[in-house]
A and B are shown apart, each in its own frame.
Chain A
Amino acid sequence: MATVAAVIASTHHPFYYRASTSTGADRPPFADEWVTKIEAFRQTLTRARADMLVMVGSDHFHQLWLDNMPQFLIGKAPFYDANFYNEEREFGLPRMLVRGDEDLSGYLLRQGIDAGFDLAFSNELRIDHSITCPLITLRPETDLPIVPIYTNIFAPPLPRPKRFVELGRTIRQLVESWPTDKRVAIIGTGHLSLELGGPRQFGPHGPDPEFDRKAVGWIASGDLESALAEVSLESLWLPGNATHGFMDFMLMMGVAGENVKADYVDSLDLFHTMEAYFTWYPEASA
């Protein structure tokens, strides 16, 4: 059976690429510290020696639109083009091309549907910065095939937090039951407190540092019980109007397992939002 070589959860900050590649007067004062932290985080994937990556993110109204909006979607294609015009325009993100692993996509779709998730699929998916940002931070060579999994954290009505956790648990079980000797890293990105297009956006910190402190604690300790007790679709409006992206972190807590402490935890308090980075090595705790 396949081995889950690493479980990795992080924020996806679209400004990292520009900050890390800029020079001279254009380079922001926080760039060097940010790059140092990202390079250390990158090592946590490198040392896992993964053969492929399952990547959980959320389309930001790029390919997926309100006339036909899936709640959970798995890409099944041999290649994924990546990044969109408005991400080049606003964030300076490059166009990318990433290989896909159709065998694992097909396995997760078939088994996931049979496990009770009516998963949508896409045979021609252009992935956006929710997946390319972690590729840029964790595997800039983009040499490993991926399986993209999109969640709807954006367009109400949304699935509830518990459903994200259940899907995470199912993804973990399915990867571990995939009949192959491959090593699979499962990577997902979301948000801590975040406000976009509202009065609390682009402040000196994330809009709710207290929520961020608690959330980092839940993730680092695998405290799903507290997270599920305190987080609801309704409560997530309070820390910031885009904080529903935290449900992708909860999905990754489901992948990592209840009360399983992360082997690597780091964070960086930036303007607008807090960055946070977590890695688990299931083999070490097995």
Chain B
Amino acid sequence: MSKYLLNKFLYTVDRDPELVERYRADARGAVAWWEADRANLILNCPAGERSTWLTFTDAEREALATHDYPALFGLGAHPFLTLTLFIALFERDYDEPLGFQREYAARLSHWSLPYPDIST
């Protein structure tokens, strides 16, 4: 499990308008590029002092590459990060206010407490 790296993807994409659009348009390509190029950057360190060990599991990579937010919930990604980014990705496709947010809840409705552990 690399919940930290899942969260790092969601966090770094969510804060960058260009990456939000890139991830919306080509999820699989954006995830492959990010894992190869960005996953090991330490955010407050120069690029030459990057980490060497961070990779997604196959399930994590596939969940991100298919915009599968229910799967991300099950994998223990931080739900605030997932929600915020996915609102940015898909709210625009819904006519009703909060339409996407309500569908999001419905697609998670099979979950009951306790939810997946989000600690990192």
A residues neighboring B (CB under 8 Å): 60-62, 65-68, 84-86, 89-90, 154-157, 196-203, 237-238, 241-242, 271
Contact = CB atoms under 8 A, between A and B. Distances in A.
A199 B105 contact: yes
B15 to A, nearest CB: 6
Given A197-B80, A197-B82, A61 B109 contact: no
Contacts of A198: 73, 79, 105, 108, 111, 115
A238 B102 CA distance: 20
Given A197-B79, A237-B115, A90 B120 contact: no
B59 interface: no
Chain B: number of interface residues, binned into ranges: 35 or more
Contacts of A155: 78, 120
A85 B88 CA distance: 11
A154 B11 CA distance: 14
A155 B105 CA distance: 22
B34 interface: no
Contact of A61 (B80, B108, B113, B115): B80
A242 B79 CA distance: 9
A67 B44 contact: yes
Contact of B88 (A60, A68, A89, A241): A89
Given A66-B120, A156-B120, A198-B108, 11 more contacts: A68-B44, A85-B17, A86-B14, A86-B15, A86-B84, A90-B88, A155-B120, A156-B118, A199-B111, A201-B83, A238-B113
B79 A241 contact: yes
Nearest to A89: B88
A237 B79 contact: no
Contacts of B11: 61, 65
Contacts of A62: 15
B4 interface: yes
Nearest to A90: B87
Nearest to A234: B114
Contact of A86 (B88, B101, B113): B88
B23 to A, nearest CB: 14
A67 B80 contact: no
Contacts of B101: 201-202
A84 B15 contact: yes
